[in-house]
Amino acid sequence: MSAHPTTAGRPTAAPRSDTAPRPTAPRPDTTAPRPDTTAPRPALPGEALLDDGLLVRPLAEHDWAEVVPLEARAYAESGLSEGGEALRSRHRAAPDCCFVFEHEGGFGGYLLALPYPLGHCPDLSRAEDPHGRTTTNLHAHDLVVTERLRGRGLAPRLLTFLADTARARGYATVSLVAVRGSEVLWAPLGYRSHPEVRLPASYGEQAVYMAMSLRP
């Protein structure tokens, strides 16, 4: 870096008359509105802008740096974490059904879904079949909200978004596995418990299979 000049090389100022008026620099207009840096950007094709500035978009490759650690923080202590490779395998099976959401321009969490026969679900201890499945049921496999956004009721809104998306794509039902007593959150949305469905041991003893019809 070159040294900043002080007096050397400084141009000589033009002579001024003692009586000549000095030019006055215009003052900035402090009344002009400042741009709102927290406002969500407009939704692009394939994205959805929900209320309260919640932007939902397809999960991209760079999102895994946020998704995998968030999943581990949410489930590792309870033994339900499936790890990065299994998560990626769910995405590969149905990339158009996996989303992340942003709030005020920051990462807010993720939602992974994939087609799965009604009454069945992925095994957390195994990677997904890369060929996918043909079915009229869309399974909401995993939904995690970042710590800073919890307590705002985002999870039910995101499942409503997923149900609307599934209905628009011709699915007849949406299913999920409620863990750690979360079935009380999903029942008001229309999900019904199916205790007769046997779940993989990787979900633990308290997990409950739930499903909701998308037809009137």
**pLDDT tens string 151-202:** 999 999 999 999 999 999 999 999 999 999 999 999 999 999 999 999 999 9
- Give the per-residue pLDDT at 134: 86
Query: Percent of the chain beyond pLDDT 70?
Result: 79
Contact between residue 165 and residue 173 where contact means Cβ atoms under 8 Å apart: no
Q: How many CA atoms lie within 13 A of 52 on its CB side?
A: 10
3-state secondary structure of 146: coil
What is the homologous superfamily of the domain 48-213 according to CATH?
Gcn5-related N-acetyltransferase (GNAT) (3.40.630.30)
* Average model confidence (pLDDT) across the chain: 84
> Of 11, 145, 167, nearest to 67 (Cα)?
145
**pLDDT tens string 95-127:** 999 999 999 889 999 999 999 999 999 999 999
Of 26-35, 40-49, 96-105, 133-142, give the lowest mean pLDDT range.
26-35
Cβ neighbours around 187 below 10 Å, total: 14
The pTM of the full predicted model, rounded to 2 decimals, is 0.79
- φ, ψ dihedrals at 141, nearest 5°: -75, -45
- Give the per-residue pLDDT at 42: 63
The DSSP annotation for 103-141 comes to ETTEEEEEEEEEE--TT----TTSPPPTT----SEEEEE
70, two tokens: 């968030």
Is the predicted pLDDT of residue 16 greater than 50, yes or no?
A: no
- Residue 53 — left, alpha, or beta (φ > 0 → left; ψ -120 to 50 → alpha)? left
Give the Å distances, CA to CA, from 176 to 12, 101, 186.
77, 19, 9
140, two tokens: 């909401």
The whole-angstrom separation of Cα 60 and Cα 73 is 20
42, two tokens: 């407009």
